Amino acid sequence: MNKIFAIFGDPVSHSRSPLMHNCVFKNLNYPASYIRVHLKDGTKLKETFFSLGLSGANITIPHKEEAFKACDEVRGFANNVGVVNTIINENGKLIGYNTDADGFMFSIKEFGDIKKILILGAGGTAKALACRFTQDNIDITVLNRSQNRLNYFKEIAHKCYTWDNFKCEKYDLVVNTTSAGLKDENLPAPKIIIEKILNNTNFVADAIYGKLTPFLKLANEKNITYKDGADMLLGQGILANELFVKSELKTDDIKKFMVKSFEL
């Protein structure tokens, strides 16, 4: 019987995950398909997952923390962060994983040695990246629009700021993990702050993919080397697909067809 996988999010129409996973399944003759589910209420994740008869799923904004709560068991790095982006149906139980952080590490390899990072945003992606960076002894600062979500970072970050009290230092890399610029033309913070940040960093990355965000446009104007979220997407997608197919496909083959899906 064909397995069905899905991506849950709100919004979800922008997601390239269906294209990536379906390209792997189709070309490797794996009996599965991957659909998109627009889920408004994150607390309905578990019941929707089972009502659709899914074998596994990815979770995108804004439900990754809700996905962690919905799991019967959480494995590996996701436990450190309380954020889940991949769930697997194991005999009727939901098993949660996080593949975003390793996907991001894969994507910044080309920047070389990174010791100090400014993270813009304090949501699920920011948490995952912050925990992963600190594992590699990278010094992190977090800047978020509002105070509430910053509490999580107090123990692990060098400094935490809102827009009101931000003090800029020098950074090797600044990464935008906010959803500003995804469906709008907003910068992740007021322009005066972003200008200052861009004048004090070597590299810039955005988790958003498929468009040049206003943040990346500004980085480009300042001739700063930047990258969007496409490689992160690729990295997390390969790791998620490996979990979906449980070693039935070779990683090199998964990678080959995921890369190919970017040409579609």
Query: Contact positions toward ligand NDP, by CB under 6 A?
Result: 60-62, 64, 100, 103, 121-126, 144-146, 149, 177-180, 182, 186, 188, 207-209, 229, 232-233, 236
In whole angstroms, how far apart are CA 214 and each of 108, 169, 171, 199, 211? 20, 22, 20, 16, 9
Phi, psi of 241, rounded to the nearest 5 degrees: -65, -40
Q: Is 64 a catalytic residue?
A: yes
From the candidates 46, 64, 93, 115, which is the catalytic residue?
Answer: 64
Distance (Å, rounded) from C-alpha 195 to C-alpha 189?
Answer: 10
Distance (Å, rounded) from C-alpha 56 to C-alpha 221?
Answer: 41
Q: Which is nearer to ligand NDP, 55 or 58 (CB)?
A: 58
Phi, psi of 256, rounded to the nearest 5 degrees: -55, -45
Distance (Å, rounded) from C-alpha 264 to C-alpha 261?
Answer: 5
Q: Which is nearer to ligand NDP, 95 or 207 (CB)?
A: 207
Q: Which is nearer to ligand NDP, 29 or 57 (CB)?
A: 57
Distance (Å, rounded) from C-alpha 109 to C-alpha 95?
Answer: 29
- Least distance to ligand NDP, CB of residue 256, Å: 19
Burial class (CB in 10 A: 0-12, 13-18, 19+), 118: buried
- Least distance to ligand NDP, CB of residue 125, Å: 3
Q: Which is nearer to ligand NDP, 1 or 192 (CB)?
A: 192
- Least distance to ligand NDP, CB of residue 114, Å: 18
Could you tell me if 63 and 39 are in contact, meaning their C-beta atoms sit under 8 angstroms apart?
yes
Nearest residue to ligand NDP by CB is 123
Please report which helix (H) or strand (E) contains residue 6, including its range. Answer: strand 3-9
- Least distance to ligand NDP, CB of residue 53, Å: 25
Q: Which is nearer to ligand NDP, 62 or 224 (CB)?
A: 62
Which residues fall within 8 angstroms of residue 147, CB to CB, at 6 or more apart? 162
Burial class (CB in 10 A: 0-12, 13-18, 19+), 106: middle
- Least distance to ligand NDP, CB of residue 56, Å: 17
* Residues catalogued as catalytic: 64
